[in-house]
Structure 1
């Protein structure tokens, strides 16, 4: 086919091409105008560098200055690297805490949690849109809910019991996962948190909520073992203090009753009570050093994430890109119109040619069963 033949086909079927382009352009404009606006807010955090030796304490106190008191601050790695930050950000614990926060939504009359916002009754227009223009996304969401099944545990409560979200909270967890994304610069360890929402203030509030709960979660992971050790040492320290007081009281009562013991039995009992007091004192002193060391270790591990750039309300929307959408629909309409023009031209030429008609009849005879020939 020469260039002239191509131009001739386009000229003959110009109305078909124009109508197709106009229809798709109209669809593109409609979609671009009805698509909800989205705004993206970003925040950046970085993990503070900590040496294996533990580094200095807040206030410039050197770990070596405490060695004379029997306190050692040897470092220990937590295993939490910046590469794991996006997974922590998307963890169920962080998302569950975010969806339980209260936000001010542009299309809601009062502040509410994200769970309540997601499960509020749909309006008439929203229902029509869900089952017409947004039908593919509605079916996708329903299919995803059917496959996913029941929600999994989301962390634990203060009592140590599994914290399982309700069905409403599980739907909110899935929805909020689509709003958050994160990327880490492997060289600098800087993580960028991006949150997309339906308004500039809402996007900034979401980003701030994610940032706060992410920082808290990282701190919990970093200090989990230290806090468990601190709780154990505190309990044992209280017991040792009570035991020491009881031993001292018993020794004091004995000395008050026997100020000048002369018999061997009384002297042996006095020595035994004094040994018990010395032992309790040594245990008390040792636990006191461990308690101080554990508290300092916990304090040293607290500030592990630094906010380099806080989230702010974006000035411009990130989506939809209306001009780009219209151009894509316009190009798609043009491609389909040109394809339809050539298809229609091919069918017309085939019907006019007796040789081509014979070929079609032969294809029918070989592919279509004989009982269908008359129908075809």
Structure 2
């Protein structure tokens, strides 16, 4: 009985499949085509390398200063604590206390507010050319030179916007007597757009820390702006947190001053009446003394109670004031963060190879397609 042979479609372990000669020919043709056009590819590659060198050495130098801190509350709250664990189970515990805590996840929104940015562009920094103090807005309006690369971007990529602005003309400044409205000028808008690319505020919800960084053309200025941004951000958080407690403190202080004046007035009236009726022992005089003493005791009780509440309100303000623990303080950077010249050169070299090889294959593909279209047109004719 003959053994049954497996179908011819099954792979034979003793005779592995041989490579298709046509595949080798196609691969050799592709390599040969690249070798024949090597001079063209080298020219394209050289052009991109030169362009990469220009971009790497003409791009403006930037320095980045950063800090990392943890927001804490005196009552013991800490971001990412029990409320974070409960949220994983679908339970919202809310905020402890008066519910006026700003979560760190909202810090980037707070840093992007108009009020925050208006205060930030008025920050005083050191002019690197003169060593004299100057504001952020004055530096970028009067001192800073954008450099060749940024100028090319402005007048090429930004040309449509410049033309549209020239056609429309400068927008008129809006004025109003309503002090509750916030107005932003054209110059401030430009500063805000620049701040959006310079200031970065990120939060780590799991660990509960906040990282802030600021980019400037000078190392000292970057550290100064990062420190100012951190201080402003923390002040905004503190002001929001203690708002209710501070309003309660102001209210208690006003009532305390009123009742203190009433108590002192009542004290003077009682003392004056006793002095005038020192030797009089009539029943009416004694009754008037008792009435004045009752009013004095009531005023003293209210005054004494408000004094206690005033002290409690002051303690509550201190209790609700957040404390920020610095993990990494702001320091003057010693190395520039941009441009990354080796990386820029590598990227442009890879782009040159891709463009050169793609051009070779693309041109051949275009020629072949053009010939096929010509043949189809002749057949139809």
TM-score by length of 1: 0.76
Q: Aligned in 2, Cα 1:44/1:358: closer, same or farther, shift over 3 Å? A: same
The correspondence for 2:374, drawn from 354, 357, 371, is 357
- Range with bigger deviation, 11-20 or 289-298: 11-20
The correspondence for 2:122, drawn from 96, 100, 124, is 100
In structure 2, the residue matched to 1:116 is 138
SS at match of 1:304: strand
The correspondence for 1:188, drawn from 176, 186, 207, is 207
Q: Aligned in 2, Cα 1:331/1:208: closer, same or farther, shift over 3 Å? A: same
The correspondence for 1:253, drawn from 266, 272, 277, is 272
> What's the offset of the Cα at 1:144?
12
SS at match of 2:232: helix
> What's the offset of the Cα at 1:263?
5.0
Q: Aligned in 2, Cα 1:142/1:180: closer, same or farther, shift over 3 Å? A: farther
- Range with bigger deviation, 221-230 or 286-295: 221-230
In structure 2, the residue matched to 1:24 is 48
> What's the offset of the Cα at 1:233?
1.1
> What's the offset of the Cα at 1:51?
3.6
1: CA distance between counterparts of 2:59 and 2:346? 15
2: CA distance between counterparts of 1:253 and 1:208? 61
Contact 2:126 2:133 (8 Å CA) reproduced: yes
Matches within 5 A, 1:111-260: 111-120=133-142, 126=147, 130-135=150-155, 138-139=158-159, 164-260=183-279
SS at match of 1:132: helix
For the pair 1:12 / 2:36, whether they are aligned, the reply is yes
How big is each residue's C-alpha offset from its partner over 1:278-314, in whole Å with a ceiling of 9 and x where there is no partner?
Answer: 1111110011001111111122233521222211122
1: CA distance between counterparts of 2:218 and 2:74? 38
1: CA distance between counterparts of 2:369 and 2:205? 62
2: CA distance between counterparts of 1:286 and 1:139? 70
1: CA distance between counterparts of 2:289 and 2:309? 30
Q: CA RMSD in A?
A: 3.4
Contact 1:52 1:77 (8 Å CA) reproduced: no
1: CA distance between counterparts of 2:125 and 2:379? 70
In structure 2, the residue matched to 1:87 is 109
> What's the offset of the Cα at 1:130?
4.8
1: CA distance between counterparts of 2:114 and 2:366? 58
Q: Aligned in 2, Cα 1:237/1:349: closer, same or farther, shift over 3 Å? A: closer
TM-score by length of 2: 0.75
2: CA distance between counterparts of 1:310 and 1:143? 44
1: CA distance between counterparts of 2:303 and 2:163? 62
> What's the offset of the Cα at 1:34?
0.8
Q: Aligned in 2, Cα 1:101/1:129: closer, same or farther, shift over 3 Å? A: same
2: CA distance between counterparts of 1:143 and 1:174? 19
Contact 2:60 2:149 (8 Å CA) reproduced: no
2: CA distance between counterparts of 1:182 and 1:150? 33
For the pair 1:286 / 2:305, whether they are aligned, the reply is yes
SS at match of 1:315: coil
2: CA distance between counterparts of 1:89 and 1:3? 57
Contact 1:95 1:177 (8 Å CA) reproduced: no
For the pair 1:43 / 2:43, whether they are aligned, the reply is no
Give the gaps of 5 or more residues in structure 1: 54-73, 153-159, 366-376
> What's the offset of the Cα at 1:18?
1.9
How big is each residue's C-alpha offset from its partner over 1:83-105, in whole Å with a ceiling of 9 and x where there is no partner?
Answer: 33333344433333222111124
Q: Aligned in 2, Cα 1:14/1:235: closer, same or farther, shift over 3 Å? A: same
How big is each residue's C-alpha offset from its partner over 1:97-123, in whole Å with a ceiling of 9 and x where there is no partner?
Answer: 222111124467743101112222776
2: CA distance between counterparts of 1:15 and 1:308? 56
